[in-house]
Amino acid sequence: MAATGVAGAAGMTALSGCAGGPGSGEVTLKLVAADYGNPGADNSSKIYWRELADRFTKKNPDIRIDVTVHSWNDIGKKLTDMVDSGNPPDIAQVDSYADWAAEGKLYKVSELLPIPAQADFLVSLAEAGEVRRVQYGLPFVASTRVLFYNKDLFKKAGLDPDKPPESWQEIKSAARALKAAGVKIPYGLPLGPEEAQGESLMWMLGNGGAYVDSVGNYTINSPENIETFQWLRDNLVGPGYTEPGPQRVNRQQLFEAFTKGEVGILNGHPTLMQQADKKHLSYGTGKLPGSKGPAEGTLGVADWMMAFRKHGHREACGKFLEFVFQEKNHYAFTSQYGLLPVTTSASRRMRKDEDQKKLWPFLDQLAGAEFYPVGKVSWADTSAVIKKTVGKAAMKDGDPKGVLTSLQRKAEAEEKAAPS
């Protein structure tokens, strides 16, 4: 997990003077963040941010942090409304940034952080934070995906509980055996609107496909991707090895069914591991299966922090963000919520922490994971359409080529309409 040096204005530090920053009077930074816990509960992210803000202000008395935390269901709209009304927060933590970067509303990372702090971010994540080769998004936390399977259900079906399926054919054979043993959902395939874009990409990667090519052009309807959905339709959905109508089924529904012992196999992230442990479920994990064997890569997902230019608090924002990503502070958040660090220093710390041993397989995959093309300004709208539509390609009577070609055309249209 090598760190990265950031190009562009990398010679610039965040510690030069600016209007409205420390030294020109007291500054109050408005921070809007997403809640990774349960609102009102003792694991709410609000508790973390308030404690962190208090410690920061003690060290920097002229900078106060006004924290607002919203649920993931609400934060996207609330933040968009703030930006559209001309009153964005100084700092936001959410799941996308490219639209605002393209509109010139965000500070470059090189304008915020000193070079050592920039260099601590993992390479793949720093690059995923770029729009047109300039980094605007600061990765906040990350996760990768692995295959989960229920060991007790494997035993019931006469399958080896210590051998996860490694290829699509092995997935099909295991699902057939699980169905014959009376398992309610042999393979959980969440292609509903919650995260259909993620489940789809995991399967695409197993067949050498992806949403974009190496230079960022959309490849949604590539031969590899069409073949992937044809296989899903004909080998899992058609024979009844998945839940009925996977295009309507969301990820969290299947996570909950898995922890109840109703699902034999599905793809999941660290949160599923936490949920399964609470239910004392006997489960195993493995690499994502591919068409010929274990997939070479896996899906990586990151959430982002960004600083808005509107109020001119560049120096204060930079100081606070540098504090957020200090090893102790960053690791405290990731370890609390079972997520992966985005910096080299915190990743090394997790690697040495025996209490986080179950996260090590996810951590091992992070440097080589495939991320959504979040740096494309057109991705947010394209992803929204994929979530609503792509599941139709795997329906029993679905038309993978037609569905994926329609998505390709819409993606290309969004790309042409994006700000240049």
DSSP for 33-97 reads EE-SS-TTSTT-HHHHHHHHHHHHHHH-TTEEEEEEEE-HHHHHHHHHHHHHTT---SEEEES--
27-144+300-371 against 146-297+378-417: fold identical: yes
pLDDT of res. 24: 45
pLDDT of res. 135: 96
Could you please report the per-residue DSSP string of 221-249?
Answer: T-HHHHHHHHHHIIIIITTT-S-S-GGG-
Q: How is domain 146-297+378-417 classified at the architecture level of CATH?
A: 3-Layer(aba) Sandwich (3.40)
CB half-sphere exposure, 8, CA atoms < 13 A: 17
pLDDT of res. 420: 66
pTM: 0.85
pLDDT of res. 4: 26
* Number of Cβ atoms within 10 Å of the Cβ of 1: 17
Domain-by-domain residue ranges, the chain? 27-144+300-371, 146-297+378-417
Domain 27-144+300-371: CATH superfamily is: Periplasmic binding protein-like II (3.40.190.10)
| Average pLDDT of adjacent 10-residue blocks, the chain of 420 residues | 28 34 71 85 89 97 96 90 97 93 96 97 92 95 96 98 98 98 98 94 97 95 98 98 95 95 96 92 96 93 96 98 98 93 96 93 90 92 94 96 98 87
pLDDT of res. 142: 95
pLDDT of res. 79: 95
State whether residue 218 is helix, strand or coil: strand
pLDDT of res. 274: 87
pLDDT of res. 16: 33
State whether residue 202 is helix, strand or coil: helix
